[in-house]
Chains A and B, each alone.
Chain A
Amino acid sequence: MNRFLLLTAALLCGCSTVLETGDTLERAITPPDGVNYAVTRPEGGFRLDVSDGRFASKVELLAVRKSRTRGGFTQVQFDLRNTSFLRQTANFGFEWIDAAGSVTEGQSGWSPTPLEPGQITTVTATALRSDSAECRLRILAR
């Protein structure tokens, strides 16, 4: 009888998720993470589209710089900073958009980037096609 109880307890432990940090606990009780976007504008500057306000309150987009390479291809740099007191992991991806608004190319998948508290990281995206004009950066919490 006791052995059955022990076995049940062991199975229950095996199926449960171990919460390791305060951040993990917070993630467990909030809705699923949404994807945030930062999109460059033809007239300069950028537009933010925030779906995950919790993550957006921890990682700040400091600056966006758009330039052209010597070969004439658009290059964009996004500076981000972890403004929280905990290590964050941001996952990045991006798409390129032409002047008409169509997606021309993009980086598939997600690039995980750990960010220590206070750390600034720069994400650089260089277009492969000459008609790629604006960059849409995808940001997803760990």
Chain B
Amino acid sequence: MNMNKSLLLGLTAFVVGCETPATYKDPEGRELVVSIGKVDIQDFANAGNAMLQEMVKSPAFDSAGASPVIQVGQITNDTATNFDLSLLLSKITGPLVNAGRIRLIDSDPVASAARASTPGAAVPLPQYVLKGKILEDRANAGRTKQSSFVFQLALVEVKTSLQVWQKEKIVTKQGTTNAVGF
């Protein structure tokens, strides 16, 4: 009986020893949780960075002139997970706005109300509309699960309604369980 008690105590200590206390992690680092079934914060960064780089090196964007006016159009989340699309969009529009490469139309209601009462104020017409879709595909083989998240973005020229740039970035994750880090 005493033997069982000491074993029980030993096991309890071992289980406690296996637990990981919460710590702060660099959100841009390599020790983040990798989830198989959902889009992680680093997936938005990865897809957003790839999209941004593809867009700025495209001939259409490069020759669009200084600071073209862009409006964000319809961006659809067709995945099973509900998330705020600004997690993706801010990775693309943020660096462009901060570098002065685009002028982004903001439909903030407070700003709109203030503009309405400002004589002579007018919103510039957008030259381009950024639109997109996020999709997912799941597959499994035995215990191994795989999920692919497909990020699609396109830049539409307003005066012609023609797509002048589009890009698809797929983030695929595979495993039997969620993990920490890469």
A128 contact from B15, B18, B101, Cβ within 8 A:
B101
Interface residues of B in 1-22 (CB under 8 A from A): 3-4, 7-8, 10-11, 14-15, 18
Which residue in A11, A70, A109, A124 is a CB contact (below 8 Å) of B45?
A: A109
**Residue on A nearest B17 in the bound complex, by CB:** A15
Given contacts A11-B15, A14-B18, contact A126 B7 (CB under 8 A): no
Whether A126 contacts B11 by the Cβ 8 Å rule is no
Among residues of A, the one whose C-beta sits closest to the C-beta of B8 is A4
**Taking the nearest CB of chain B, how far is it from the CB of A58, in angstroms?**
17
- Cβ B11 vs Cβ A128 within 8 A: no
Would you call A111 and B62 a contact (CB within 8 A)? no
CB distance from A16 to the nearest CB of B (A): 10
Evaluate contact between A75 and B57: CB separation under 8 angstroms: yes
Q: Provide the bound-state CA to CA distance between A4 and B4, in Å.
A: 8
B39 → chain A closest CB, angstroms? 14
In the complex, which residues of chain B have a beta carbon less than 8 angstroms from the beta carbon of A36? none
Report whether B28 and A108 are in contact in the complex, using a CB–CB cutoff of 8 Å: yes
B73 within 8 A of partner (CB): no
Q: B62 contacts which of A4, A14, A71, A140 (Cβ < 8 Å)?
A: A71
Which interface residue of A15, A111, A124 has the most chain B CB atoms within 10 A?
A111
Across the two chains, which residue of chain B brings its CB closest to A11?
Answer: B14
Contact A7 B11 (CB under 8 A): yes
**Chain B residues within 8 Å of A128, by CB:** 56, 95-96, 99, 101
Do residues B49 and A108 form an inter-chain contact, with CB atoms below 8 A?
A: yes
Chain B positions within 8 Å of A110 at CB level: 28, 30, 42, 46, 182
The contact size tier of chain B is 20 to 34
Instruction: Determine if A69 and B182 form an interchain contact, defined as CB atoms under 8 angstroms apart.
Output: no
Contacts of B96 in A (CB 8 A): 128
Are A126 and B53 in contact, CB atoms less than 8 angstroms apart?
A: yes
Instruction: Return chain B residues, CB-CB under 8 Å to A65.
Output: none
In angstroms, Cα B25 to Cα A90, docked, is: 21
CA distance A7 to B15 in the complex (A): 11
Bound together, the chains give a CA A74 to CA B16 distance in angstroms of 53
Q: Which of A8, A14, A110 lies at the interface centre, i.e. has the most chain B CB atoms within 10 A of its CB?
A: A110
**Given A69-B62, A91-B182, A142-B182, are A107 and B49 also a contact pair (CB < 8 Å)?**
yes
Kindly identify, within residues 52 to 83 of chain B, every residue whose CB is under 8 Å from any CB belonging to chain A.
53, 56-57, 59, 62-63
Residue B50 lies at the interface, judged by CB distance under 8 Å to chain A? yes
B136-182 contacts to A, CB under 8 A, are 182
Q: Are A4 and B11 in contact, CB atoms less than 8 angstroms apart?
A: yes
Q: What's the nearest-Cβ distance from chain B to residue A42, in Å?
A: 21
Interface membership of A129, Cβ < 8 A: yes
Is the pair A129, B99 in contact by a Cβ cutoff of 8 Å?
yes
**Those 5 A-B pairs whose CB atoms lie nearest each other, nearest first:** A128-B99, A109-B45, A109-B28, A126-B57, A4-B7
